[in-house]
Amino acid sequence: MIPERWLNAALTLGLLAVPLWALWADEPFTITLATKVAILALAGVGLNIALGIGGLVSLGHAAFFGVGGYAMGILAHHAQTFQPMIWGLEGTKSMPIIWLTALVSSGLAALAIGALTLRTSGVYFIMITLAFGQMFYYFAISWPAYGGEDGLSIYVRNGFPGLNTLDPIQFFAIAFTALMLALFLHARLKASPFGLALNAARQSPDRVETVGLSPFRLRLLAFVISGAITGLAGALFADLNRFVSPTMFSWQLSGELIVFLLIGGVARLYGPVVGAAVFIFLEHHLGDISEFWQIGLGVLLLLIVLFARGGLIGLVAGEKR
């Protein structure tokens, strides 16, 4: 068994090495794939705070991914068409402002959804979060002002002061930095009193209540932080594709985020990183062979669920988490 800390360091270096190699080999598409891994891993890190530490199996996290994506889409759309938004507010092409908007709006969406759904548990929680995700999906489809079913195209990637975001390696650097910050945040939260209490609430809510803490409040805060991080990933994903559409809200995406965690290891710090990397690798390589590449993913998932309950990280670093 390799200590998890060493494994995480190796994974960080690996995620850095691939795009640097691609830069050297002049393979810009590989850099874009690595960027996609970093962004989807970021969304997974968000979910991992709710699901991994808090045990909240949300099948509606695409709602936050989509809210972040549309925050970017709407702001950039108004900036590129020079049309003011409501109350005469201008759009913007500035990434920091877009990220802040994505964080706040998806965090508020998580607050509202969490306040209503966290009264339930188990399969009811899964179903009600799914229902909220689908509500957002159908709302986006029927919102003609921002493209409805067709979505919104953003012609030029948004800007970040001092960087050329059109350069794939520089945009990768942005996504990678965001991922590292989110991983750092996850690690700190997990070790904090908040993480200790949230983790205990997953295992024994009665115990947490009898020491005078509210499992509901702990979970709600975790859900908000989780939703905000997934929303930031949505904004970056929209910028990567320069396109937002209702599919960002789809339940399949919520499911894929859970699949990332299962593949990499639920509650493992780098679980979503491994999961997203394996997913994108399979999508790219098996997808070249057959459009039914997800059968391969299904087999892998089955093997992991049956034989490696701690995910791939558990397989290499041991099951203790």
Partner 1 sequence: MNPVLETRGITKNFGAVEASRGISLDLRPGEIHALIGPNGAGKSTLIQQIAGKLRPDAGSVHLLGEDVTALGVAERARAGLGRTFQVSALAMEDTVLQNAVLGALGARGGRVPLFRGALHDADLRATAEAALDRVDLLDSADMQTAALSHGQRRQLEVAVALTLKPRAFVMDEPMAGLGAEGSARLTRFLDGLRDEAPILMVEHDMDAVFALADRISVLVYGQLIATGTRDEIRANPDVRAAYLGEDA
With binding defined as CB under 8 A, does residue 115 bind partner 1?
no
From 203, 289, 291, 307, residue interacting with partner 1 (rule: CB under 8 A): 203
Q: What is the rounded CA–CA span in Å between residue 86 and residue 91? A: 10
With binding defined as CB under 8 A, does residue 119 bind partner 1?
no
Count residues near partner 1 (CB under 8 A).
Answer: 24
**3-state secondary structure at position 160:** strand
Q: Tell me whether residue 112 or residue 191 sits nearer to partner 1 (CB atom).
A: 191
With binding defined as CB under 8 A, does residue 26 bind partner 1?
no
Structure token digits, residue 34: 């690595």
106 class by beta-carbon count within 10 Å (0-12 exposed, 13-18 middle, 19+ buried): buried
With binding defined as CB under 8 A, does residue 309 bind partner 1?
no
With binding defined as CB under 8 A, does residue 214 bind partner 1?
yes
Least Å distance, CB 2 to partner 1, is: 21
With binding defined as CB under 8 A, does residue 210 bind partner 1?
yes
Place of tokens 């020491």: 211
Helices 271-289, 251-264: inter-axial angle, 10-degree rounding: 110
CB 236 within 8 A of CB 178: yes
Q: Tell me whether residue 23 or residue 200 sits nearer to partner 1 (CB atom).
A: 200
Least Å distance, CB 219 to partner 1, is: 12
Residue 87 — left, alpha, or beta (φ > 0 → left; ψ -120 to 50 → alpha)?
Answer: left
Q: Which stretch binds partner 1 (CB under 8 A): 105-113, 166-174, 189-197, 233-241?
A: 189-197
Q: Tell me whether residue 78 or residue 321 sits nearer to partner 1 (CB atom).
A: 321
Q: Tell me whether residue 177 or residue 204 sits nearer to partner 1 (CB atom).
A: 204
**3-state secondary structure at position 152:** strand
CA-based nearest residue to 67, from 133, 164, 3: 133
State the greatest distance between any 2 C-alpha atoms of the chain, in Å, as a whole number: 60
Q: Tell me whether residue 56 or residue 236 sits nearer to partner 1 (CB atom).
A: 56
Residue numbers of the site for partner 1 (CB under 8 A)? 188-189, 191-197, 199-200, 203-204, 206-214, 218, 321
